[in-house]
């Protein structure tokens, strides 16, 4: 149709540009029309869906949206994408399970990988996990992974290290890695943040005050070591959701229920006469993990629910620990005396996540876990191009889920590293040198750090202006809205184009 009618502009009125605009732009390009001479009116998401019970008004609004799109299309100009050479190395931050998995995946594809771990040994949280419900031996798998990483010709491991400075953008980052022996500067094309998380240290239920109160992680280690403390136990009580699913940390730590079920089964298999009680708010053994929950009940593990506003009460009573709670089903108090109290401590972010977020200009959610660009469309990407995430740094998850996400992050990273150069979007900001006086109002508001103030000579005098990094700029328009001198604009969104849309919208109003 474009070729047949010699079209020089295309306007499509349909659904969301976020999902369909790339398809239409690509079609225009294949037909020989510059893809940026295309405009889209979102009459589904912004009209029919929000006004589904007002058909007449929705129709009028749809006409207005189309009229506005046509008005802007008349003033569209051809735009052209830039390109950037790619450094085919990767930087992976975190030497735990997720970080090692991502590093091995990329290294096996032939890419050079710099793996940075702040501890003096690899393994992260997996070093403290001694059994899995799947039956696999995590310590055996960990040893294999560490051996592969340490001996891989494409992986450079930095232990006891941290990244202190980062410059550049997608395809061409430059990071400074600090160790006790000194600093090293490395170039890389992408970053994968797999910085992990940590176990919450409880302050409740006598933890730290009575040696008979431990966490599920500690119990897992005791079971693996065959600790003498586990022999001849008459009663064990487990309390779930310690430090999570409450006001301070409203999120679920996800692995606690399956961990409790796993350890409860192990205790019952060691001695079927041991009474095991699990005090829970909700049992979240999702998927096929439900089979293990059923097995625990068949073995005689007793599950008692409690409400958030009626948490269990714990006191030391001579040779036993007394645990009291209210059964919401019976509406009656329940009291248990046990020799061992096990707390399902929450998974909490590491303390250095704020610094890491600022360093790479990536966001955190309200719980201080790293926030993906889009939960469904870009689940392992950050909004910052070329930076990816995986593992517990993103949110609490199981070993299997961490591995899957690490593989996904490596796959996304490989789409960049496998190229000699990458295309840069054309709809980015453009500085108008004639208008820009170097006031720098636009620099601090830029969420991507794409703008810098520079000086230059003009007719014998020093002038100031703003320089834009094309690889960092996302065309968000914050700079354009901030500038008081019309010294910067976003390509494809010039003031005259936007003014034409407003005037078209006001035609029917007048």
DSSP result, 341-360: EEEEEPEEE-TTHHHHHHHH
Is the CATH code 3.40.50.300 the one for domain 428-491? Answer: no
Cβ neighbours for 348, distance < 8 A, ≥ 6 positions apart: 197, 198, 199, 200, 243, 249, 368
Q: Give the per-residue pLDDT at 165.
A: 96
**What is the C-alpha separation between 105 and 413, in angstroms, rounded?**
10
Q: Is 215 helix (H, G, I), strand (E, B) or coil?
A: strand
Give the tokens for residue 258: 């399956």
What local confidence, expressed as pLDDT, does residue 458 receive? 79
Question: Helix or strand or coil: residue 336?
Answer: strand
Contact 96, 196 (CB under 8 A): yes
Q: Within 10 A of 463 (CB to CB), how many other CB atoms are there?
A: 14
Closest CA to 125 of 164, 99, 91, 159: 99
d(CA 138, CA 121) in angstroms, rounded, equals 16
Closest CA to 466 of 448, 441, 490: 441
pLDDT, tens digit (0-9, with 9 covering 90-100), for 21-75: 999 999 999 999 999 999 999 999 999 999 999 999 999 999 999 999 999 999 9
Count other Cβ atoms within 10 Å, centred on residue 64: 20
Give the orientation angle of helix 97-108 with respect to helix 399-417, to 10 degrees. Answer: 40
| Domain spans of the chain, in order of start | 1-79, 85-196+350-422, 201-344, 428-491
The partner residues of 349 in beta bridges, in order of sequence, read 197
Phi first, then psi: what are they for 377, rounded to 5°?
-85, -30
Q: What is the pLDDT of residue 447?
A: 87
Would you state the pLDDT for residue 510?
Answer: 59
Residues of the chain with pLDDT under 70: 509-510
Torsion of CA 167, 168, 172, 177, to 10 degrees: 10
CATH of region 85-196+350-422: 3.50.50.60
The model's pTM: 0.84
pLDDT in tens, 139-175: 999 999 999 999 999 999 999 999 999 998 899 999 9
- Say if CB 349 and CB 367 are below 8 A apart: yes
DSSP readout, 100-161?
A: HHHHHHHHHTT-EEEEEESSSSSBGGGGG----TT---HHHHHHHHHHHHHH-TTEEEEES-
Asked, colleague to colleague, whether 85-196+350-422 and 201-344 share their fold, the answer is yes
Going by CATH, does the domain composed of 201-344 fall within 3.40.50.620? Answer: no
Extract the tokens encoding 100: 């090692």
Return the closest-CA partner of residue 243 out of 269, 224, 216, 263.
216
Q: Tens of pLDDT along 432-455? A: 988 999 999 999 999 888 999 998
What is the H or E stretch that residue 217 is in?
helix 216-225
pLDDT of residue 471: 86
- Rounded Cα gap, residues 109 and 111, in angstroms: 6
Both structure tokens of 205: 């239920």
Assign 490 to helix, strand or coil. Answer: strand
């Amino acid at each position: 149709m474009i070729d047949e009618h010699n079209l020089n502009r295309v306007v499509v009125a349909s659904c969301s540009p976020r999902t369909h605009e790339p398809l239409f732009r690509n079609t225009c390009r294949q037909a020989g029309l510059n893809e940026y001479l295309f405009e889209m009116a979102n009459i589904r998401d912004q009209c029919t869906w929000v006004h589904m019970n007002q058909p007449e008004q929705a129709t009028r609004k749809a006409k207005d949206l189309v009229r506005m799109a046509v008005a802007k299309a008349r003033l569209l100009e051809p735009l052209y994408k830039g390109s950037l050479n790619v450094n085919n190395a990767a930087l992976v931050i975190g030497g735990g399970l997720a970080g090692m998995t991502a590093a091995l995946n990329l290294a096996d594809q032939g890419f050079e990988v710099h793996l940075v771990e702040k501890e003096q040994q690899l393994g992260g949280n997996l070093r403290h996990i001694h059994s899995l419900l799947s039956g696999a031996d995590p310590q055996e798998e960990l040893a294999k992974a560490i051996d592969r990483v340490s001996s891989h010709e494409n992986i450079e491991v930095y232990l006891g290290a941290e990244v202190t400075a980062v410059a550049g953008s997608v395809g061409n980052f430059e990071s400074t890695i600090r160790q006790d022996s000194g600093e090293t500067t490395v170039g890389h094309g992408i970053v994968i943040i797999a910085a992990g998380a940590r176990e919450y240290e409880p302050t409740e239920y006598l933890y730290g005050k009575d040696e008979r109160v431990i966490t599920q992680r500690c119990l897992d280690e005791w079971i693996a070591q065959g600790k003498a403390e586990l022999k001849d136990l008459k009663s064990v009580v487990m309390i779930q959701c310690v430090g999570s699913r409450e006001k301070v940390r409203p999120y679920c730590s996800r692995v606690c229920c399956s961990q409790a079920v796993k350890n409860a089964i192990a205790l019952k298999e060691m001695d079927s006469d041991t009474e095991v009680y699990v005090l829970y708010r909700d049992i979240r053994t999702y998927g096929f993990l439900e089979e293990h929950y059923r097995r625990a009940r068949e073995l005689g593990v007793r599950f008692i629910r409690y409400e958030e506003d009626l948490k269990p009460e714990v006191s030391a009573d001579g040779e036993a620990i007394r645990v009291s709670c209210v059964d919401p089903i019976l509406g009656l108090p329940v009291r248990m005396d046990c020799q061992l109290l096990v707390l399902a401590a929450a998974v909490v972010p590491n303390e250095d996540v704020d610094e890491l977020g600022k360093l790479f200009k990536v966001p955190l959610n309200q719980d201080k876990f790293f926030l993906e660009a889009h939960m469904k469309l870009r689940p392992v990407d950050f909004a910052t191009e070329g930076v990816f995430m995986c593992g517990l740094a993103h949110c609490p998850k199981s070993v299997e889920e961490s591995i899957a996400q690490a593989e996904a992050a490596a796959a996304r990273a490989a789409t960049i590293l496998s190229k000699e150069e990458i295309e840069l979007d054309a709809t980015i900001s453009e500085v108008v040198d004639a208008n820009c006086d170097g006031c720098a109002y636009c620099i601090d508001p830029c969420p991507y750090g794409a703008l810098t103030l520079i000086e230059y000579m003009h007719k014998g005098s020093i002038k100031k202006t703003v320089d834009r990094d094309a690889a960092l700029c996302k065309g968000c328009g914050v700079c354009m809205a901030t500038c008081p001198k019309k010294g910067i604009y976003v390509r494809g969104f010039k003031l005259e184009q936007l003014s034409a849309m407003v005037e078209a919208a006001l035609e029917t109003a007048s």
